[in-house]
Amino acid sequence: MQDKEIMNLILPFKDKLYRFAYRIVGNSFEAEDIVQEILIKVWKKKEQFSQIENKEAWCMTMTRNLAIDKKRAKKMKTSSIENFHHIKDQSDTPAISMERKETVNRVREMINSLPEKQASVIHLRDIEGLSYKEIGVAMGLSLDQVKVVLHRARKALKLKFINKKQ
């Protein structure tokens, strides 16, 4: 496989890798380093890379594993996704904008309060838009496990949201 072909295959989902790494390590510099390491690993394994059926899921799995390793090494706590997920609408009034921001922050806090597995599955499905199968590959879970974890996470978020409104 040619060098340009490899880059053309991986570059479209490079940003997803960054956001996923950032979600785990909570540091933009570390997330960038993780993505660079993944690109280097793909480069070194370019012969094997052409034989991989789902390249994006394979890269997401490597990103997850590397990010978790780095997180464990530094024993950092998971931080908010606040730094890369903004809602911004120029036509809104300041009151509407503030209300929206508070709601988004509340949802982020709720997601971050979930167990790590549930928070990661919610992130991969609802923020990154991965399929259940891709999430299963990235997280090392069966399709049924992904569905159960996602269902439980959404149910927990719904209960938290209802309780916050009361």
Q: Where are the domains of the chain?
A: 1-77, 92-166
Cβ proximity of 6 and 49 under 8 Å: yes
Query: How far apart, in whole angstroms, are the C-alpha atoms of residue 136 and residue 125?
Result: 11
Token pair of 166 as six digits: 């009361």
Cβ proximity of 106 and 2 under 8 Å: no
User: What would the pLDDT profile of 42-52 be if each residue is shown by its tens digit?
Assistant: 878 777 777 88
pTM for this one? 0.53
CATH of domain 92-166: 1.10.10.10
C-alpha pair distances (Å), 3 with each of 36, 72, 154 = 16, 33, 41
Mean pLDDT of all residues in the chain?
A: 82
CATH of domain 1-77: 1.10.1740.10
User: What would the pLDDT profile of 57-95 be if each residue is shown by its tens digit?
Assistant: 888 898 999 998 888 887 645 555 565 555 454 566 778
What's 81's DSSP letter? S
C-alpha pair distances (Å), 119 with each of 139, 146, 153 = 12, 12, 7
Burial class (CB in 10 A: 0-12, 13-18, 19+), 41: middle
